[in-house]
Structure formats: structure tokens, C-alpha cells
Amino acid sequence: MSDPRQGHGETHDHAPGGAQTGRGGIRAYLAGLGFAIVLTLASFWVADAQSVWRPAVPVLLAALAIGQMGVHVVFFFHISSGPDDTNNFLALAFGIFVVGLIIFGSMLIMTNLNANMTPMEHMVQTRH
């Protein structure tokens, strides 16, 4: 844990969100809003832009969305990787792990099943 000589005083842990522990303030929310607006407009522009190589668009959209989610976590939830945020950060890391497992695992399994399924026409033929 944190170095005792630093003298953390009363708080050695931090609740997510809020500003009661001296974090954030109006500047954090304004910064978050600014970043979020830029990233949102970039997402909507990329989806329609003719000057972007088309196969790159899904990757760009994913990167912009993940970036904006990060902006929300940092500037609106005030979650950091600091020593007094260990509990919140570990819970977040586990949440991201489970979400990734569910989404990519489902897509992988369903694509695989779909590719290996016997075509319906073939099944009708073999039945008689």
C-alpha cells in the first residue's frame, strides 16, 4: 500500500465519481465534455467520410469508441490507477475482462458454428 511517511491522513481509499475527495471539479467535467464532443463528431465523420480507406472504418470507429469510454471513466467517474483507487481499478479491469470474454467469445463461437453447419439444401437431399 501507500508509503506511511507520505501522510495520507484520513483517506486511503477513494469512491468512484463525485468530487468530494478534491478530484475533478468543473475543469475535469469541461475537459471530459470537450474530449467527448471531439471524439463523437470524429466518429460520425469517419462513418461517412469518402477520404477514409473504407476497410479501415470499423477499426477507426472501435478505436474512437474505446477512447471516448476511457474519457468518460477518467473525467466523469474520476477513476485512476493511483494507489487509493486500487479496488475500483481492479473491479473495472475484471469487468472489462468479462465483457470482452462474452462479446468476442460469442462472436467467435457463433461464426465458427455457422461456418461448420451443414447447408440446409444438402440436408434435404440426403434425407430421401
Q: Is the dihedral of CA 42, 45, 47, 49 positive or negative?
A: negative
Minimum CB distance to other proteins, residue 126 (Å): 25
- Neighbour-count burial for 88-106, b at 16+ CB within 10 Å, e otherwise: bbeebeeeeeeeeeeeeee
Residue 71 to residue 69: CA distance in whole angstroms: 5
Minimum CB distance to other proteins, residue 120 (Å): 14
State which residue, 82 or 95, has the beta carbon closest to other proteins.
95
Minimum CB distance to other proteins, residue 121 (Å): 17
Residue ranges binding other proteins (CB under 8 A): 1, 4-10, 12-20, 24-26, 28-29, 32-33, 36-37, 40, 43-44, 46-48, 57-58, 61-62, 64-65, 68-69, 72-73, 76-77, 87-88, 91-92, 94-95, 98-99, 102-103, 105-107, 110
For residue 6, the surrounding DSSP H or E stretch is: none
Stated length of the chain: 128
